[in-house]
Amino acid sequence: MRVLTWAIRFVLFIVLLAFAARNTEPVTLRFYFDLAWQAPLVALLLAFFAAGAVLGLLAMSGTYLAQRKEIAKLKRDQSAGRDTHAPAASQPPAAEG
C-alpha cells in the first residue's frame, strides 16, 4: 500500500512539474487604482493557492483551539473522578399498589 501511495505522489509531482514548465509566460494581474503585478502564471497560481491554504487554516484555528480547550477540560474532569458527560443512572419506576 505504501508503494502505491508513493507512486501516486510521484506521478502527481511529475504532472505538476510539467504543468509548471509549460506555463512560464508572464501574465499581468490587474488590481484597482491602476495597480498591476506581472509574474509567471505558475508563480501566481502558487501564490494564490498558498494564500487560500493559509486563510483556510486561519478559519479553522478558532474551532481547533476551542476543541483543544474542551478536551483538556474533559481530561482534567476525568482524572479528578468527575465524569460530567456520563448518563445518569435511571431508577425503575416505583410499583403502584
Please report whether residue 85 resides in a domain.
no
Please report whether residue 89 resides in a domain.
no
Please report whether residue 66 resides in a domain.
yes
Q: What percent of the chain has pLDDT over 70?
A: 86
The string of pLDDT tens digits covering residues 58-84 is 999 999 999 999 999 999 988 887 655
pTM above 0.75, yes or no: no
Give the dihedral of Cα atoms 47, 52, 58, 59; nearest 10 deg: 170
Question: φ, ψ for residue 35 (rounded to 5)?
Answer: -85, 140
Please report whether residue 42 resides in a domain.
yes
Please report whether residue 29 resides in a domain.
yes
Q: What range does the domain containing 54 cover? A: 2-79
Please report whether residue 84 resides in a domain.
no
Please report whether residue 30 resides in a domain.
yes
Tally of CA atoms within 13 A in the half-sphere of 91 that contains its CB: 3
What total number of domains does the chain contain?
1
Please report whether residue 70 resides in a domain.
yes
